[in-house]
Chain A
Amino acid sequence: DSGVTQTPKHLITATGQRVTLRCSPRSGDLSVYWYQQSLDQGLQFLIQYYNGEERAKGNILERFSAQQFPDLHSELNLSSLELGDSALYFCASSVGGQGMTDTQYFGPGTRLTVL
């Protein structure tokens, strides 16, 4: 158990819908990362937050957005869902120091299925 929690574990929804994925980082970690794992793209970095502020953006679609709240939990919002958004979404957290290159610990993931 990494100490990172993600809810829900599974999510099945229809095209065009909007969903919210939630992540709670390990105690004491200030940095939260979101990654998408799909068969065709592999594991891709989406976005990073550090202590409530957006720190870096990767291959995140405009239909996707995220935020980190004062209690440091984070939410990833996916809207206007398409079939191709079906994937495993991971949240990871790290302390956030050491030039941000400290070890990231991953949550169990949320498996999103868009029908």
Chain B
Amino acid sequence: QVQLVQSGAELKKPGSSVKVSCKASGDTLSNYAINWVRQAPGQGLEWMGVFIPFFGTSYYAQKFQGRVTITADESTSTAYMELTSLRSDDTAVYYCALYYYDSATYSYSYWFDPWGQGTLVTVSS
């Protein structure tokens, strides 16, 4: 069973960038699509985007196009989410979450499991 461990909390200045990591154990990242989901304080879940290592492709929510980049280093089983031009309303807990890709049948699982523990990113001057 794959497990995810994320990097620690970050405090960033407005206008700067943050890069959060998500390390997987128990399986290879090439079997999954790596998603990032964020949750602002007291707010709901917001899907940001996905990177599919098998194809090397990524898809992003329109809201984050141009500001977010999701990548993965399969040699270290670590995924990354970089968000640039940070604003105060980017203050949130950021989660990585996987869904399964079956390369034998070219099918996806279309649900998020497992999830990382979350990383708090605070944007403040």
The answer on A and B forming one complex is no
